[in-house]
Amino acid sequence: MSPLSCFLIVIALSAELSNGESYDKDSVHFINSLNPNNILRVHCLTHDDDLGYHLLSPGQTYEFSFYESIFTTKVNCALWQGPGFKFYAIFRAYTGGGFIVHYGRKNFWDAREDGIYISHSHMVKILPN
């Protein structure tokens, strides 16, 4: 068997495994840690789906999960808050591993008065308010 044939077989098997439902789904979570009465509006899009608009009261969460695909898994989101939802941020909430598929990866986004934080195992401020 030629090296090219072996490579193509490995790619085909990897693509099939990346869609396997026996693996844990990846997930994105949003937490509204804003002041009382400050509603957080969340809107996310993937390559294939518009996940709709979600309004979170302080203390509420919104989450969704999915199976990662090779090269294509990207989740873009927008968050709005404040009077008339005039303060907003648009960002990539999840980026897949490209050729390497992740299983069970979790991204926690925490909207606070001083910015938006992401957490996997510890908090890191990444977006200014």
**pLDDT attached to residue 11:** 63
**pLDDT attached to residue 114:** 93
- Confidence band of 22 (pLDDT split at 50, 70, 90): low
* DSSP-assigned letters across all residues of 7-76: HHHHHHHHHHHHT-TTSPPEEEEEEE-SPTT--EEEEEEESS-EEEEEEE-TT-EEEEEE---TTT-EEE
Inter-residue contact 40 to 80 (CB < 8 Å): yes
Domain locations along the chain:
3-127
Check pLDDT > 90 for residue 41: yes
Please state the φ and ψ torsions of residue 95, each to the nearest 5 degrees: -130, 125
- Confidence band of 31 (pLDDT split at 50, 70, 90): very high
Check pLDDT > 60 for residue 15: no
Check pLDDT > 80 for residue 34: yes
Check pLDDT > 80 for residue 70: no
Q: Which CATH class is domain 3-127?
A: mainly beta
